[in-house]
């Protein structure tokens, strides 16, 4: 049985190997792209945020969050497709958390979960029978279940 930690480690190793294959062999500056310091730089125009928030997500977070609270996105093993998104309100930040802020509200993602949602968009959907935060357009996902709460990763 595959655990979340084992899948995360395999996914990270695969990504590092793919990045190493793309690097020029004679350019030390190319190696800097893999350092943890460069991964923690603030996003710029050429380096967009790793998690985007839709207008409806920002609006809803502004309505329900108090100052100092964030929406935490956590990915864990489970669901019908292998991994599932978990959302919670959190007032504390851990050392390995990344914060993505927009419009005065923020989303927190731990470093392990970030590998599974990098490049995604977080939305808030309100329907007659349910309202929920959703992860949309996840480039790390191969496919997901029909309810949108679980997914499998690209290898």
Task: Check pLDDT > 70 for residue 48.
Answer: no
Per residue in 95-130, pLDDT (tens digit) is 999 999 999 999 999 999 999 999 999 999 999 998
Its domain, for residue 143, covers 4-153
Domain count, the chain: 1
Record the pTM.
Answer: 0.66
Indicate whether 35 pLDDT > 70: no
**pLDDT tens column, 56-79:** 999 999 999 998 999 999 999 987
Mean of the per-residue pLDDT values for the chain? 75
Q: CATH number of the domain that 13 lies in?
A: 2.60.300.12
Report the alpha-carbon distance of residue 17 to residue 76 in Å, rounded: 24
């Amino acid at each position: 049985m595959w655990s979340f930690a084992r899948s995360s480690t395999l996914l990270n190793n695969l990504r590092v190997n793919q990045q190493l294959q793309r690097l020029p062999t004679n350019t030390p500056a190319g190696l800097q792209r893999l350092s943890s310091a460069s991964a923690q730089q603030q996003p710029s125009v050429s380096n967009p945020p790793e998690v985007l928030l839709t207008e409806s997500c920002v609006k809803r977070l502004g309505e329900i969050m108090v100052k100092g609270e964030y929406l935490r996105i956590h990915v864990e093993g489970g669901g019908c497709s292998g991994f599932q998104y978990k959302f919670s309100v959190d007032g504390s930040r851990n050392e390995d958390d990344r914060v993505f802020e927009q419009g005065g509200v923020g989303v927190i993602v731990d470093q392990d979960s970030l590998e599974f949602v990098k490049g995604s968009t977080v939305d808030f959907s309100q329907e007659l029978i349910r309202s929920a935060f959703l992860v949309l357009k996840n480039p790390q996902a191969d496919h997901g279940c029909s309810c949108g709460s679980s997914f499998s990763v690209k290898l």
